[in-house]
Amino acid sequence: MNIGLGSKRKTILLIDANPHKRSTLRIALEAAGFTVGEAVNGNEGERTVARIKPDAILADSMMETIDADGTLMDKLSRAGTNAPLYIVSTLGDALVGAVSLQELGIAGVFIHPIDPAIVIQTLKTRLSM
């Protein structure tokens, strides 16, 4: 991808405990012109958000659990980001509950197995690239 002199690369934060999944997405996203940060859990994600100021966040649905520090959404909110959050989930996880994604502050859900091309196109559209 040819990035013009005035263009700023968009930064994506991947939050997933599985290093293989993070690596696969990171390689695809970087090849598409994104800068990528990684975190293995919500606590590390909170610190990484504060450091890299991502334009969007992709988090494994298993990260959205409640611990002593709250949910992933709580952690990201404390880090001061308004970056859109996309959840990577299984179909079963995505169908549970009657709360809308907007009520949860989630921009969208990618269902496993994810297609990196769909993730890239969604992010490019959302981030106006």
DSSP letter string over 107-125?
-EEEESSP-HHHHHHHHHH
Q: Quick one: how far is CA 90 from the chain centroid?
A: 15
Taking only the tens place, the pLDDT of each residue in 74-91 is: 666 666 678 888 888 876
Residue 104 lies in a domain: yes
Structure-block tokens of residue 24: 């696969």
Q: What is the structure's pLDDT at 122? A: 96
Q: What is the structure's pLDDT at 103? A: 67
Which CATH number is 88's domain given? 3.40.50.2300
Q: What is the structure's pLDDT at 1? A: 44
Alpha-carbon distance of 28 to 25, in angstroms, equals 5
Average pLDDT on 67-72 reads 56
Q: What is the structure's pLDDT at 65? A: 52
Taking only the tens place, the pLDDT of each residue in 13-37 is: 999 999 999 999 999 999 999 999 9
Residue 60 lies in a domain: yes
* Higher pLDDT pick, 35 / 3: 35
Asked if the model's pLDDT at residue 102 lies above 90, the reply is no
Count of beta carbons in the 10 Å neighbourhood of residue 88:
25
Residue range(s) defining the domain that contains residue 18:
11-126
Looking at the 3D structure of the chain, how many domains does it have?
1
